[in-house]
Amino acid sequence: MDILFIHQNMPAQFKHLAPALAASGKHRVVFVTRGKGVDIPGVRCVGYEAPRPANPTTHHYVRLYEASVRYGQQVARTLLQLKREGFVPTIVIGHPGWGEMMFVRDVFPRAVILSYAEFYYHGAGADVGFDPAQPADLDTVCRTRARNAHLLLSLDMADAGIAPTEWQRSRHPEIYQPRIRTIFDGVETDVVKPDPAARFRLPDGRTLSRQDEVITYVARNLEPYRGYPSFIRALPAILAARPEAQVVITGGDQVSYGAPAPDGRSWREQMELEISLTTGPFADRVHFTGKLSYANYLSLLRVSSVHTYLTVPFVLSWSFIEAMATGCVMVASDTAPVLEFLEPGINGHLVPFHDPAAIADRIIGVLADRSDHLRLRKAARATAVGRCALSVCLPRQMQLVEQLTGVSV
C-alpha cells in the first residue's frame, strides 16, 4: 500500500515508525516535509516551501489560523502533485500542529487519516494561567480557545489519533477521546542506557565522571515553560551548600514555547541579569553547553548525580524519559504529565514548579544522602523501559496501522 507521512520537521515523532513501515519493501512510503537534508532508508522525501506568513493586520485571535490555512494549502498542492503521479495513500499519518493536515481529506477522500494528537489548548487547567504571577485575562483565554481552530478541524477529519501520554490525550474534547490511542513515541533503551564509565567533557576542557557531583538540567531551549527561571533561582543555595557540585545546563537560546524574554534578550540573558552565574564565586562551577550532539547529551545524562526536569502542564519532553532510561536520579516538577510517570520516593522525587527554595532543598538533600540512589536509578530505568521502550511502543504503533488499514505491515 501507499503510506504518507506529513510533518514539517521530518522525521520528528515518526522517526521510528516511518522507516519501520518502509523496511519490508512492500509499501511505498512518502514523507511530505519542509525539512531538508534528512534521509530515511526506503522513504521518499517530498519537500514544500513555507508559505508567506499571516497578515500582521489580521485579528490576533485568528492570525495563527490564517497561517495554518496557508500551510494547509501548501501541503494540499504538494499532495495534488503526488496524486497526479499515481501516489494515492491508504493511510496518512501526520502532525496537525501547523495546519498541514487540514485539507488532506479533500485531496484523498478515501484515505485513513491518523493524526498525532499532541496537545489541545485550554484557557485553564494546563499551561495558560499556570503561573500565579501571570494570571490569564479574558483576552488570553479567548485567544487560547481560538488557537485550537486548525487542530479541531484536523481532529474532526481524522479517523484516529495517537497521543504520547494519557494526560495529553485527556486535553482533547471528550467526544474525540475514544478515537485517540495513547502510545508513547518510543525510546531506544538499548542505546539510551546507563554507563558507569561515561565521561563528559566540559566547555572549559575539564572532564566529569560518575565520581563527580554533577547537577544536570536539559531543555531544547532555556525558557520558562521548562522551568528555567525556577532552576536558576535555586542554584545559589545549592552551590553554597554543595561546594563540590558542578552544574551543567544544556539548551539553546531560542523560544520553543511561550513568550520571549523582554527587550529582545534570551531567557538565559534575562536570568543572568537577575542572578549572575557567569561571574562571581560560582562561575567556575556553572557550565552552559548550548545544544549538544546526541552522543554528548547521553554522556552528560550518564554522569549526572541528580537530573532536574521542570515543566508547566504541557507536552512532555523526550529528555524526561531519556533521563529516566539512563538511570538518572530524577528531581522533577509535580505537574502533569510528569505525574504519569514519576512516583515520589519510588523512581524519583517531586518538587513544586514555582518554589526555587523547595527545589534547592530537595537537590541538596538528594546529593547529601546517596544511600538510595542505586534503587532510584534502577526504578527510573525500569519505568522507562517498561512503558516507553521502542520495543514496546513501535509494535503498538504498527498494530494500530494494521487495525486502521486492514493491511499487514
Q: Do 125 and 37 reside in the same domain of the chain?
A: yes
With beta carbons less than 8 A apart as the criterion, state whether 85 and 107 touch.
Answer: no
Q: Do 177 and 206 reside in the same domain of the chain?
A: no
Which of the 8 DSSP states describes residue 187?
Answer: B
Q: Do 7 and 37 reside in the same domain of the chain?
A: yes
Q: Is residue 181 part of a domain?
A: yes
Q: Which residues contact 151 (CB under 8 A, 6 or more apart)?
A: 96, 97, 120, 121
Phi, psi (5° rounding) for residue 182? -95, 110
Q: Do 211 and 113 reside in the same domain of the chain?
A: no
Q: What is the pLDDT of residue 219?
A: 97
Q: Is residue 190 part of a domain?
A: no
CATH of the domain at 367: 3.40.50.2000
Q: Which residues contact 15 (CB under 8 A, 6 or more apart)?
A: 40
Which of the 8 DSSP states describes residue 345?
Answer: T
Phi, psi (5° rounding) for residue 177? -60, -35
Cα–Cα nearest to 183, from 160, 168, 170, 165:
165
Residue 42, Ramachandran bin (φ over 0: left; ψ between -120 and 50: alpha; else beta): left
Q: Is residue 254 part of a domain?
A: yes
Q: Do 267 and 297 reside in the same domain of the chain?
A: yes
Q: Which residues contact 262 (CB under 8 A, 6 or more apart)?
A: 270
Q: Do 368 and 267 reside in the same domain of the chain?
A: yes
Q: Do 150 and 261 reside in the same domain of the chain?
A: no
Question: What is the CB neighbour count within 10 angstroms for residue 67?
Answer: 20
pLDDT-derived band at 278 (thresholds 50, 70, 90) equals confident
Q: Do 321 and 399 reside in the same domain of the chain?
A: no
Q: Do 358 and 401 reside in the same domain of the chain?
A: no
Phi, psi (5° rounding) for residue 261? -70, 160
* Higher pLDDT among residues 24 and 95, named by residue: 95
- Give the total number of structural domains in the chain: 2
C-alpha cell at 126: 494546563
Q: What is the pLDDT of residue 307?
A: 98
Q: Which residues contact 28 (CB under 8 A, 6 or more apart)?
A: 1, 2, 3, 44, 87
> What single-letter amino acid sits at 203?
P
Q: Is residue 194 part of a domain?
A: no
Q: Which residues contact 377 (CB under 8 A, 6 or more apart)?
A: 194, 327, 328, 329
User: To which residue does cell 515518526 refer?
Assistant: 14
pLDDT-derived band at 187 (thresholds 50, 70, 90) equals very high
Q: Do 229 and 361 reside in the same domain of the chain?
A: yes
Look up the domain containing 244 and give its range. Answer: 199-388
Residue 59 to residues 64, 66, 137, 147, 152, Cα–Cα distance (Å): 10, 10, 17, 12, 19
Rounded mean pLDDT, 108-117: 98
User: To which residue does cell 550532539 refer?
Assistant: 293
Q: What is the pLDDT of residue 72?
A: 98
pLDDT-derived band at 93 (thresholds 50, 70, 90) equals very high
Residues in the chain, overall count: 409
Q: Is residue 154 part of a domain?
A: yes
Q: Is residue 192 part of a domain?
A: no
Residue 250 to residues 218, 219, 277, 326, Cα–Cα distance (Å): 5, 6, 15, 16
Reply yes or no on whether the pLDDT at 38 is more than 90: no
Reply yes or no on whether the pLDDT at 221 is more than 90: yes
Q: Do 342 and 394 reside in the same domain of the chain?
A: no
Q: Do 150 and 230 reside in the same domain of the chain?
A: no
User: Element (H or E) spanning 71, and its range?
Assistant: helix 63-84
Reply yes or no on whether the pLDDT at 2 is more than 90: yes
**What percent of the chain clears pLDDT 70, i.e. is strictly above it?**
100
Q: Is residue 193 part of a domain?
A: no
With beta carbons less than 8 A apart as the criterion, state whether 9 and 33 touch.
Answer: yes
120-160, pLDDT tens digit by residue?
Answer: 999 999 999 999 988 999 999 999 999 999 999 999 999 99
